[in-house]
Amino acid sequence: MGRILLLILVILVSQINVQAHTFTIGEHDFFLDGQPFVIRCGEIHFPRVPREYWRHRLQMCKAMGLNTVCVYLFWNFHEWQEGRYDWSGQADAAEFCRIAQQEGLWVMLRPGPYSCAEWEMGGLPWWLLKNDKINLRSRDPAFLNPAVRYMKEVGRVLGPLQITRGGPILMVQVENEYGSYGKDAAYMGALRQALIDGGFDTPLFACNPQGAIANGRRSDLFQVVNFGANAAAKSFETLRHFQKTGPLMNGEYYPAWFDMWGRKHRTGPVEPIVADIDYMLKNRHSFSIYMAHGGTSFGLWAGADRPFSPDTSSYDYDAPISEAGWVTPKFNAIRQVLARGETPPAPPPQNPVMTVKPFELKEAASVFENLPAPVEDETPRTMEFYNQSRGCTLYRATLPAGPAGALTIKEVHDFAWIFLDGKSVGVMDRRRQSYHVDLPERAAAARLDILVEAMGRVNFGREVFDRKGIHGPVRFAKSEVKGWKIYPLSLDAQELASLKFGPGAPGPAFWRGSFQLEKAGDTFLDLRTWSKGVAWVNGHCLGRFWDIGPTQTMYCPGPWLRHGGNEIVILDLIGPRRPEMAGLEKPILDELRPALDFSRAARAGGAFSAGGVPPVIQGSFTSSDQWQEINFARPTKGRYLCLEALDAQDGKQTASVAELDALDAKRETISKAGWKILWADSEEHGDGDAENVLDGQPSSSWITAPGTVFPHRVVIDLGDGAEISGIRYLPGNIKDFRVYVSEMPFGLTPRN
């Protein structure tokens, strides 16, 4: 009888807990337990934080004055192999949410299936790319069926943690910024239904930048808007146009931005952030700071901006909570604003930081001497066709004796080092669309090796369809090279365990060394004497490094180190200048070294000339800050697209453009996968590079340099060319314009 009474008591208590809280969307406010509630949220990605530090980072959020944390799920992090879900260890999303609840934080869940977030393929699994005809982020069954299965799996794991069942999850997002990709409301409806079928009964919402809210919008999804500094009032005005009733909410508020290799470290000033948060609080607008704490893209998870600009492993983001979890001036300023209504708890103590004395890595394992069993193929294909997800691949063939000639490949994703009989003869670089290497004369048949490194897949736009490796054919002296052996180098634990180390060796190699510790703490490994590759400490992959910067150190969390001996392995694809290492107390996030880049960007030479080519259209943009679509009288085919700005909305001499898309004959955006900036008459290097018109990020722009005058022109090389029916322009301040399309580069001389 006693056990029965106890069981009844447990059931009653659990029912009371389920009913303990309610969350609803009212005419003007969110309501928590029937009381108006303003969501003060900050985003943290648990895969970017060592599990041992989850509680510390959540305590930091609470100490900053937040009452909610935004939690992204990355589909590929939980289903890297099709049909095999992982919710354990570092992937234990439910435990992260439970800790958030224990620390007094509510949760906004963003499960995908697409996430973006500068993450490998935006969170989509690589195995989707095995299907030639798949249409990503659409109702194509090849995509939608596995996506729906995943969403239902999310419901199984995290559905019990909804507020309706006593958990911390207030709201759940459907997809992510879909309006920047497509317009199919039925697709959004299918994903909405998948969440409902998976057991989610909390409010469902969609987020978009203000210029994309209308695309794919549904009345049965609550709408929120994403924006950065100085855009709050205008963005909420636009949101209210679509979201007629209910509270206004910001889904992502950007305190700064992420970093890409070879470009300066991004930071954001404190003052406009404080002003925007103050404005939102005074008007009872809810918000989510993206990122409250960025952390680190450990492993090989860092993505790439489009058309291809790989992101750094550091995801510091100049966020209020630093990459290592430290209080920053931005943290204190935001805390001061948020503390006006209630006093937040004190921040937890900073985790210990230490230095590591310089030490040498004395052992090396040459990549060429540690190859797995090959796959044979008549012509080389991309990694996905060999069931390889990421890492590096060595493609090997034989060239007959003969004269010098040019080796060309249609495309390589992403970098390829070319060797003849083990000797380096050149490099190919996707950033520059440079796929040509001159080979010397050969007195005898020679072994041709093409070592390809795959960096993170593009995480935004149509370019997320990003297969890695060689996109053939491979030609030498205009003849196709056939008969290949393909060696997949997955860079996983099994491969590392199989390496055979010896004395140091030149060329691409794994290096190994060790260091002793009396006591473990956080440190920042100094890689300034190394070139390009991947680092592991005690089996934990810290991510990628590259000497061109801006990041010159790698964050190494204390829990991954130990008292006594610690082992480090470095894959350097070029070779170190000195095989040594040290641990610093502070990171180096902003040191660019462009002279070390093996393939530097080069604008076309010569002077611009339309050469008798008439503009396909001329007109005026409006002063609106929304996307503007300009349709040509008829489709025009060409390889080169020029936007010519004649004047500015404000009457000044500076031109700026946030984004520029081209439309195909169906008025759909054309993939920018093969695009590059050929030339710009002027650009403000660092923050205003012309590449910003291609990156898919509304907060970055091509900005012409001070002291230059109109007309301003940017010329884009479309690669294979395209039939263009119009353009989409995201301001920017241009007023009057002309657009030219040509098969020839407007009198300019392209440079490799």
Retrieve residue 525's tokens: 């490994």
Spot the catalytic one: 252, 384, 659, 684. Answer: 252
Nearest to 278 by CA among 333, 331, 241: 333
Name the 3-class secondary structure at 96: helix
Beta-bridge mates of residue 42: 69, 289
Active site residue 252: yes
Question: What is the helix, strand, coil percentage profile of the chain, to 5?
Answer: 20, 35, 45
Name the 3-class secondary structure at 350: coil
Name the 3-class secondary structure at 453: strand
Active site residue 177: yes
Helix (H) or strand (E) holding 138: none
Cα–Cα dist 173/156, whole Å? 16
Cα–Cα dist 449/395, whole Å? 6
Dihedral through CA 320, CA 324, CA 327, CA 333, nearest 10? -10
Per-residue CA distances from 392 to 450, 454, 492 (Å) = 10, 6, 11
Residue 650 burial (C-beta neighbours within 10 Å; 0-12, 13-18, 19+): exposed
Per-residue CA distances from 610 to 60, 322, 509, 642, 735 (Å) = 57, 49, 49, 9, 20
Spot the catalytic one: 43, 177, 323, 363. Answer: 177
Cα–Cα dist 542/554, whole Å? 7
Per-residue CA distances from 222 to 23, 231, 242, 342, 723 (Å) = 14, 21, 10, 28, 38
**CA pseudo-torsion sign 554, 555, 560, 563:** positive
Cβ proximity of 173 and 109 under 8 Å: yes
Per-residue CA distances from 303 to 309, 313, 392 (Å) = 9, 9, 16
Q: What's the one-letter identity of residue 644? A: E
CA 485, distance to chain mean position in Å, is 32
Tell me whether strands 628-645 and 564-572 are parallel, antiparallel or unpaired: unpaired
Nearest to 326 by CA among 57, 637, 16: 57
Cβ proximity of 656 and 744 under 8 Å: no
Cβ proximity of 164 and 18 under 8 Å: yes
CA 375, distance to chain mean position in Å, is 31
Cβ proximity of 58 and 41 under 8 Å: no
Retrieve residue 62's tokens: 């609470």
Retrieve residue 345's tokens: 């708890």
Q: What angle do CA 156, 158, 164 make, to 5 degrees?
A: 105
Residues labelled catalytic: 177, 252
